[in-house]
Amino acid sequence: MRPEDRLQVHCAKYLKAALPAPGFFSGIEHARKQSLYSGMVQKAKGIKRGLADLNIWYMGRYIGFELKVKSPISPAQQAFGVAMQDNGFRWFVVRSVCELHDLLVSLNIPVLPSMRLLTMPYDAALSVPAPKTKTATRPPRQRNPTAKELARAREWYAVRDKG
């Protein structure tokens, strides 16, 4: 799993526990590898690049969070952030679950201060490299029989059918 994906998973777990009602949050799945055709279909449907990874709606407010571990912000992501701020919404770059908590508190979203303790194991887990997953090994592929082996098998079955 990519570092940004791991951060998003941990942020979603935190928000599930910490975001008070009637708050709502959602992540966005950005398809990385796609065909030219599916990219054209997404573009025709109005799907744009640069949308925030994590979105929160709370009491008439929208807050977008772009999750980054080490990589820089792309021009499309920066343009989305500027567009959100120009429209009166909030947009932030977040690099840890603890930073997400601190931003929510600074935005006067009533998150319990003790929820900051919940962020620490998540951030600690991010500092450890993701475990390598083993790929499934296939059994060795059987080779095709040679012409000589096929002829011998036909001969054997022909003799058996007669007897």
DSSP 98-116: HHHHHHHHHTT----GGGH
Amino acid residing at 76: A
The arithmetic mean of pLDDT across residues 145-161, rounded, is 82
The contacts of residue 38 (CB under 8 Å, 6+ apart) are 31
22 SS3 class: coil
The region of weakest confidence among 44-48, 97-101, 129-133, 152-156 is: 129-133
**Over 90: is that where the pLDDT of 130 sits?**
no
Q: Order of strands, edge to edge, in the sheet holding 54-58? A: 24-27, 54-58, 61-67, 90-94
How far is 61 from 100, CA to CA, in rounded Å?
16
pLDDT of residue 55: 95
The arithmetic mean of pLDDT across residues 83-101, rounded, is 94
Residue (of 17, 27, 21, 28) closest to 101 by Cα position? 17
What does pTM read for this prediction? 0.70
How far is 70 from 89, CA to CA, in rounded Å?
25
DSSP 50: T
How far is 64 from 103, CA to CA, in rounded Å?
11
**Over 70: is that where the pLDDT of 108 sits?**
yes
The arithmetic mean of pLDDT across residues 77-105, rounded, is 94
